[in-house]
Amino acid sequence: MAVSVLVGVQWGDEGKGKIIDVLTRDAEMVVRFQGGNNAGHTVEAEDRKLVLHLVPSGILREGTACVIGNGVVVDPIGLMQEMKGLTDQGISVANVQLSDRCHLIMPWHKLLDAYNEGKAAPGKKIGTTKRGIGPAYASKANRTGIRGVEILNKSRFETLFRAEAAEYNKLYPAHGSELLDVDKAWEEMSVAIDYLTPYVTDTTVSINAAYKAGKSVLLEGAQGAFLDIDHGTYPFVTSSNTTSGGACTGAALPPRAISNVWGVLKAYTTRVGEGPFPTEQDNEIGSFLQNKGGEFGATTGRPRRCGWLDIVGARYSCMVNGVDLLAVTKLDVLDELDEIKICTAYKINGEIRENFPADTTLLDHVEAIYETLPGWKSDTTKAKCWEDLPEKAQKYLLRVAELLDAKIGIVSVGPDRDQTFRTA
Ligand code: GDP
Ligand code: IMO
Ligand code: MG
């Protein structure tokens, strides 16, 4: 069986968690390869709703190995709380594996995240989740990070922890960042380290063993392509490679291991946090999408900004990700609309552009060129196959696929696991 990657095509929150859960019916291992607990992946099945932040979305499938790979930045306290929360709900976490090469989010990373956001000039704030993601990846690149392997050597961990914490306290509180109570912080960390110790392992070995044994492995992306640190709307991005290429380094698999890339595409567009959004509808359409789609952040609860589907961005994203099959989600949210718009090109300073520009400032000046399609004005939430969809909904999907030069493999018409069907 194959190794597949699943990534978000837009600004995150496309419904990746739901699609992973559906696809995990056939997968033996699910691996998170980047990001951290900035992610909020919702899984709804059997009258249960879970929001997962670090634990892979295969956790509801008994027997599926759920691996947190080396490319992830892990908040030990956050992960412990999440795993305990799952256990309290009767969900086994026995199959969770935590990479000994992952980097750990330390308390000073969270303080720095808040500090950086607080001191940013107007227009420069990223609107981060304040989970310490950027500073933790910065420490990794700076070669001052603390890795999962240190969990297995607590006294060495404590030495590193106290040294880095002291460095933080020396440099930042003088400039207005919060002073860290090192003893208290270590006490809290120590509890998390003890809890996580049995789960730390060399996931490079276990993932490659699964691949070599021909098991089906699903690599679960977090965030989305427009938040990718190389390909997104820089600097309004997250700090990892969210696109499919990141799956190789973040899960420790060779490129040739990957045989299929799923791109999850919301039938419209949302964005949480700051930064340009060419198809944003700051009007009654945006409010409609927000309310009907329940567009409030699964991690921070912040309202998500909403707008029409942006083909210019999505086309770029499909190209960079090498999307083989699209999973189109939240089609049902469009059910009541009289007409639905798709942005097919950008007009910037009078010039028509079909390519996503590198200059993020240009995105603030986009006049979106729309194609308008008629709404289907009927309920799709009970559709079980392509033929159950109203003709106009089929036409919408076919037009999206045509514009993206991509094939649709899954359509999702509601949050529940059962409100999903394969089309390829
Ligand atoms: P992720 O971060 O990509 O996993 O997505 P989130 O879980 O943050 O946000 C997606 C939201 O949409 C969640 O509340 C899901 O339960 C919900 N959802 C997923 N697919 C559908 C769908 O097809 N229709 C509707 N109405 N809701 C969906
Ligand atoms: P999932 O996996 C949507 C956004 C933040 C902010 C920017 C940087 O659920 O799709 P960070 O905390 O990563 O430094 O914030 O990225 N962001 C997300 N937006 N979905 C996510 O994850 C996100 N993770 C981060 O809102 O704009
Ligand atoms: Mg989310």
Rounded to the nearest angstrom, the distance between the alpha carbon of 12 and the centre of ligand 2 is 7
Q: What's the CA angle centered on 6, arms 54 and 321, to 5 degrees?
A: 120
C-beta 223 within 6 A of ligand 1: no
Nearest CA to ligand 1 atom 21: 415
Q: Whose CA is closest to atom 11 on ligand 2?
A: 128
pLDDT, residue 26, reads 83
Enumerate residues with CB within 5 Å of ligand 3 (an ion). 13, 40, 298
Mapped to the 3 state alphabet, what secondary structure does 360-373 carry?
A: HHHHHHEEEEEEEE
CA 243 to ligand 2 centroid distance, Å: 14
Q: Is the CB of 145 under 6 A from ligand 1?
A: no
Ligand 2 atom closest to Cα of residue 302: 26
Return the ligand number nearest the Cα of 330: 1
The residues of the chain scoring below 70 in pLDDT are 1
Let me know the angle formed at the C-alpha of 369 by 367 and 374, rounded to the nearest 5 degrees: 135
Best residue among 9, 38, 110 to mutate for probing ligand 2, ranked by most atoms within 8 Å of CB: 38
Known catalytic residue at 324: no
**112 within ligand 2 shell (Cβ under 6 A):** no
Instruction: Show the tokens assigned to 161.
Output: 């922890």
Quick: pLDDT tens for 317-362. Answer: 999 999 999 999 999 999 999 999 999 999 999 999 988 999 999 9
**Ligand 1 in contact with 241 (CB < 6 A)?**
no
Residues 410, 416: contact at Cβ < 8 Å?
Answer: no
For the Cβ of 173 lying below 6 angstroms from any atom of ligand 2, the answer is no
Q: Whose CA is nearest to atom 20 of ligand 2?
A: 12
Q: Quote the pLDDT of residue 326.
A: 98
Cβ of 417 closer than 6 Å to ligand 1, yes or no, is no
Q: Determine if ligand 1 sits within 6 Å of the CB of residue 245.
A: no
The pLDDT, as a whole number, for residue 299 is 85
Report the separation in Å between the CA atom of 130 and the middle of ligand 2, taken as the mean of its atom positions: 10
Rounded CA separation 220/209 (Å):
18
pLDDT in tens, 179-194: 999 999 999 999 999 9
Ligand nearest to the CA of 17: 1
Whether 53 is a known active-site residue: answer: no
- Three-class DSSP labels, the chain: CCEEEEEECCCCCCCHHHHHHHHHHHCCEEEECCCCCCCCEEEEECCEEEEECCCCCCCCCCCCEEEECCCCEECHHHHHHHHHHHHHCCCCCCCEEEECCCEECCHHHHHHHHHHHHHCCCCCCCCCCCCCHHHHHHHHHHCCCCEHHHHHCHHHHHHHHHHHHHHHHHHCHHHCCCCCCHHHHHHHHHHHHHHHHHHEECHHHHHHHHHHCCCCEEEECCCCHHHCCCCCCCCCCCCCCCCCHHHHHHHCCCHHHEEEEEEEEECCEEECCCCCCCCECCCHHHHHHHHHCCCECCCCCCECEEECEEHHHHHHHHHHHCCCEEEEECHHHHCCCCEEEEEEEEEECCEEECCCCCCHHHHHHEEEEEEEEECCCCCCCCCCCHHHCCHHHHHHHHHHHHHHCCEEEEEECCCECCCEEECC
Which candidate in 21, 26, 41, 88 is catalytic? 41
- Return d(Cα 255, Cα 424) in angstroms, integer: 24
Ligand 3 centroid distance, CA of 161 (Å):
30
54 alpha carbon to ligand 2 midpoint, in Å? 13
User: Of 13, 75, 310, 324, which is the active-site residue?
Assistant: 13
96 in contact with ligand 1, CB cutoff 6 A = no
Residues 287 and 345 sit within 8 Å (Cβ to Cβ): no
396 C-alpha to center of ligand 1: Å?
20
